[in-house]
Amino acid sequence: MKKILGISAFYHDSAAALVVNGEIIAAAQEERFSRDKHTPVFPQQSIKYCLEEGGLVIDELDAIVFYDKPLLKFERLLETYYAFAPKGLISFLKAIPVWLNEKLFLKKLIYDGLKEVGHYDKKKLNLLFSEHHLSHAASAFYPSSYKKAAILTIDGVGEWCTASIGLGENGQISILKEMEFPHSVGLLYSAFTYYLGFTVNSGEYKLMGLAPYGNPNSNDTIRLKKLIESRLVNIKEDGSVWLDQSYFNYATGLRMTKDKKWEKLFGVRRRDPESDLQQIHCDLALAIQQVTEEIVIKMAEEAKRITNEEYLCLAGGVALNCVANGKLFEKKIFKDIYIQPAAGDAGGALGAALAIHFMYFNEERKIDYSYDTMKGAYLGPDYSVKEIQSMNKRVKAVHSYYDNFTELSEKVSSKLSEGNIVGWFQGRMEFGPRALGNRSILGDARIPEMQKKLNLKIKYREGFRPFAPSVLAEKYQEYFDLDRKSPYMLIVSPVKEERRKKLPQNFHDLPLMEKLYIERSDIQAITHLDFSARIQTVHKEINPRYWELINAFNNLTGFGLLVNTSFNVRGEPIVCSPYDAYRCFMSTDMDYLVINNFLYCKNDQPDYENKDKWMVKFRMDNVCPSECRT
């Protein structure tokens, strides 16, 4: 029985994962514990959690594996600066000391970090390193139910590789084809994320959400797309790309783009963060989204061509582009596609551990499951009644406790049907960027004003951002043109024609925010401007409590779906502990909070009208008390 701990750290989205005898025991991102979103620090708290969940200490591990090879990254850094010299001197002078003092001696950083986790014998420690895109490939293939499959990984950059095509067969993975830095689909998309005023490595999903506000038939969108494909990127038939580096600055500079050259090319200045969005920004977002979709489809076609496999596994940060995923499914290049729900760098920790289990230790891979081994992605910590009661006493929370969960579900579904917003906290926390019904904020999708209320009064985020539906797995085809289940909210598909409302003829000429509030369907709150939705199908066998709540709502209203957004406010990670959840609840206009079998009404809470003090605490007091941790 092999016990392997995987780690990702030092770049962004630090995480840890524990695999025992090939089973995924636990996985968590460090940001959830530290409350520092996308934190790159060594994941001490995540490791502690994983070891506690597995009942292990460090000396009992057969291997600890880091998700990429830092020496290869350093080689890429040096060769890139040499190739572009004398350009990039300032960036070089900033980067090299960090590498020399920290990242080049990454083994020591790991050893020192593990000392903070617990005592161990360094002589017994088996520290290994996996290549970045192999970690991504393993994270998708090994949890899948496929004995053999093509594997496609696409992200910004690993060591040298920016995208790869591989073949998984039983316990082995072979990388067949790679694309190398500085040519990268992920970095191309991130460059537009930056140029449109969003934060690189976290704002890409905002860019994806903005794209449907673009006018697909406008001269501007058509012009911008042609400029991207003729001047910035040369797309080959196999999906590989060549980026004209004279327009980019990420290789050796401190920014993503040469801003003045982009302004001259597109006729639009770089948008300042938080400034008003104009139609030209929306059209530019749509243009790069369309280009990205074309590239992903070409890469998938090439994976099919060189492997001739029926199935595809997909991972890497670009695999979180749900719109591109939806287009890929529509093409039916493969019989089926499996996408790792933690497709970004956090999932690399899990993939590295699985790769070592099957490829280093040559353990047998057994496939006797119907979907995957991710356990619904519910791989994080859960909390006992005693721990919740401790939190209740500490914050003097007023609550009701329900012995009968069915009674609680019916009560909450009734509150939702009346237009109330509910924070929903159950069981084990999700691994990956999506809230899947255990750390979620819920609302009634039928209410036209729900999207506005959630964005502006609950999430404190940009009003244009869309929301996703959680729909009963038995009923998703009543609402969406989707021919497969989507338990991880990774596919965007159209809302059924019969549920749509006719748009005014001048729709595309309207200002952005006017477009947003025009009714588009009878499930308005989850219907995006292009009549699409990012769908989570909820399965009774995977998440029985969440399924029971939505089923109770269906019995009451005839609608078997709810709005589901992550349980956090803008700039904060998804909540982890009951204490995090209560603080978020009190700092927003949420009406009710459910933590396992405990129900909290906002109006019953002490000092409930003074949410500002809770907002300050939520943003400034980042460490949850030890009694609120598993």
Mean pLDDT of the 85-106 span: 65
Q: Count of CB atoms within 10 A of residue 217's CB?
A: 8
- Please report where in the chains the tokens 């995977």 appear, as a residue: 542
Residue 468 bridge partners (DSSP): 564
Q: How wide is the angle at C-alpha 103 spanned by C-alphas 99 and 107, nearest 5°?
A: 145
Rounded Cα–Cα distance for residues 67 and 434 (Å): 21
Residue-range domains of the chain with CATH: 1-140+341-373 (3.30.420.40), 144-339 (3.30.420.40), 404-575 (3.90.870.20)
51 in Cβ contact with 18 (< 8 Å) = yes
Q: Are strands 63-66 and 3-8 parallel, antiparallel or unpaired?
A: parallel
Cα–Cα distance for residue pair 374/232, rounded to 1 Å = 38
Q: 345-355 and 132-141 helices cross at what angle (nearest 10)? A: 80
pLDDT at 40: 93
Measuring CA to CA, how many Å separate 89 from each of 75, 83, 464?
Answer: 17, 12, 39
Token digits for 246? 């004279």
| Secondary structure of residue 140 in the 3-state scheme | helix
Residue 86 has pLDDT above 90, yes or no: no
pLDDT tens digits along 519-560: 999 999 999 989 999 999 999 999 999 999 999 999 999 999
Which two tokens mark 346? Answer: 């956090």
pLDDT of 78: 65
| CB neighbour class for 510 (10 Å; exposed up to 12, middle 13-18, buried from 19) | middle
Residue 115: HSE in the Cβ half-sphere, 13 Å Cα cutoff: 7
Contact 525, 451 (CB under 8 A): yes
DSSP-derived 3-state class of residue 235: strand
pLDDT digits (tens, 9 = 90+) for 191-215: 999 999 999 988 999 999 999 999 9
- In whole angstroms, give the CA distance from residue 184 to residue 36: 28
Closest to 26 in 3D by CA, of 387, 368, 378: 378
CA–CA dist 466, 530 (Å, integer)? 11
CA dihedral 50, 459, 554, 473 (to 10 degrees): -50
Closest by Cα among 473, 423, 467, 461 to 448: 467
- Bridge partner residues of 538 (DSSP): 472
Q: CB neighbours of 609 closer than 8 A, spacing ≥ 6?
A: none
End-to-end CA distance of the chain: 25
**pTM of the predicted model as reported, rounded to 2 decimal places:** 0.93
Tell me what pLDDT residue 105 has.
75
Question: What are the structure tokens assigned to 539, written together?
Answer: 């399965």
**pLDDT per residue as tens digits for the range 317-367:** 999 999 999 999 999 999 999 999 999 999 999 999 999 999 999 999 988
- Distant-in-sequence contacts of 94-99, Cβ < 8 A, 24+ apart: 94/254, 99/74
| Higher local confidence (pLDDT), 629 or 377 | 377
pLDDT (tens digit, 9 = 90+) per residue, 277-294?
999 999 999 999 999 999
Distance of CA 397 to the CA centre of its chain: 32
| pLDDT confidence bin for 160, thresholds 50/70/90 | confident
Q: Which residues contact 86 (CB under 8 A, 6 or more apart)?
A: none
Among the listed ranges 213-222, 304-313, 424-433, which one has the minimum average pLDDT value? 213-222
| Mean per-residue pLDDT of the chain | 92
Q: Which amino acid is at 587?
A: S
Q: Which long-range contacts (CB under 8 A, 24 or more apart) does 30-33 make?
A: 31/573, 32/380, 32/429, 32/573, 32/574, 32/575, 32/576, 33/576, 33/624, 33/629
CB atoms within 10 A of CB 603: 9
Say what angle helices 405-417 and 544-557 make with each other, to 10 degrees. Answer: 50
Contacts of 140 (CB under 8 A, 6+ apart): 151, 153, 313, 314, 315, 319, 338, 339, 340, 343, 351
H/E element holding 393?
helix 385-395
Segment 24-40 mean pLDDT: 96
More confident residue, 449 or 49: 49
**CA-wise closest residue to 128 among 316, 314, 354:** 354
Q: At what angle do helices 259-266 and 219-227 cross, to 10 degrees?
A: 130
Q: How confident is the model at residue 316 (pLDDT cuts 50, 70, 90)?
A: very high
Q: Which residue has the higher pLDDT, 389 or 503?
A: 389
Give the pLDDT confidence of 581-605 residue by residue, as tens digits: 999 999 999 999 999 999 999 999 9
Closest by Cα among 161, 198, 159 to 77: 159
